Amino acid sequence: MRSVRRRSTSLTTESPSTVIDLATRRRTTRIFAKTPVEYEDVLYCVKAAAQAPSGANRQPWRFVLVDDPAMKERVRAACEEQEKRHHASVEASLRRWFMSKNITWQKPFLTEAPMLLAVFSNQEMPYATESTWLAIGYIILALEERSLSTLTYTPSYPENMRSVFKAPEEYALEAILPIGYSADSKPKEPRRPFQASLYRNLWNMKA
């Protein structure tokens, strides 16, 4: 296991990273250290997210920070119950991908990460899902800036998760972000060269 990334104690004297540095450094983590997470660091990320643009500026997002161990257990149990059903039903190519990555119905990170951030969107607002995921983009870069790691975990049947959080009917659970210091030695999944995803003026025209 790789040594745990810890936040520098002299953060104020560090110079900030560029967006490309944060984006490049940032990788998905499924194994978290027991090191506690500063509450203030999670607030920082939510504060950044709250500045994101949204459809008609309706700010459709709501965040539930979970740090109560009993609540984390309830979230994990509800998610794993769904995952068992889901893993039995996914199409072949995704199942092969799950197997190749050792991803099973078990989601230990939901109790092992010191904190979870559940992200909801109000589906009565325009572009609620799109706006909320844009804000999640802000959050994961802000986490990286604080040397924290996460995973954009999406429960298989999010509509069944509303009752666990006592969320109102109009809110959809978009993701649960487990938050902590990484103890995951897995390297970042490779990315296609960005040029392969970029065209100029028309589809397939080289940029």
Residues 71-130 close enough to bind a second copy by CB under 8 A: 71, 94, 97, 126-127, 129-130
Least gap, CB of 90 to a second copy (angstroms): 9
- Identify residues 55-74 at the interface with a second copy (CB under 8 A): 55-57, 59, 61-68, 71
* Nearest in space to 82 (alpha carbons), one of 143, 156, 178: 156
Q: Within its chain, how far is the Cα of 36 from the centroid? A: 18
Q: What is the 3-state secondary structure (H, E, C) of 78-128?
A: HHHHHHHHHHHHCCHHHHHHHHHCCCCCCCCHHHHCCEEEEEEEECCCCCH
CA distances in angstroms from 89 to 16, 33, 92, 95, listed in the order given: 44, 32, 9, 9
* CA-derived radius of gyration, the chain: 18
Least gap, CB of 175 to a second copy (angstroms): 8
Candidates 79, 142, 148, 183: give the one binding a second copy (CB under 8 A).
Answer: 142
Q: Return the number of the residue (19 or 77) whose C-beta is nearest a second copy.
A: 19
Instruction: Sort 112 into a burial class: Cβ within 10 Å, 0-12 / 13-18 / 19+.
Output: middle
Q: Which stretch binds a second copy (CB under 8 A): 10-18, 77-85, 106-114, 178-186?
A: 10-18
Give dist(CA 91, CA 183) in Å, integer.
31
Question: Which run of H or E residues covers position 61?
Answer: strand 61-66
Site for a second copy contains 43 (CB under 8 A): yes
Candidates 33, 113, 136, 148: give the one binding a second copy (CB under 8 A).
Answer: 136
Least gap, CB of 38 to a second copy (angstroms): 14
Candidates 5, 26, 87, 186: give the one binding a second copy (CB under 8 A).
Answer: 26
Q: Return the number of the residue (121 or 181) whose C-beta is nearest a second copy.
A: 121
Candidates 5, 7, 23, 86: give the one binding a second copy (CB under 8 A).
Answer: 23
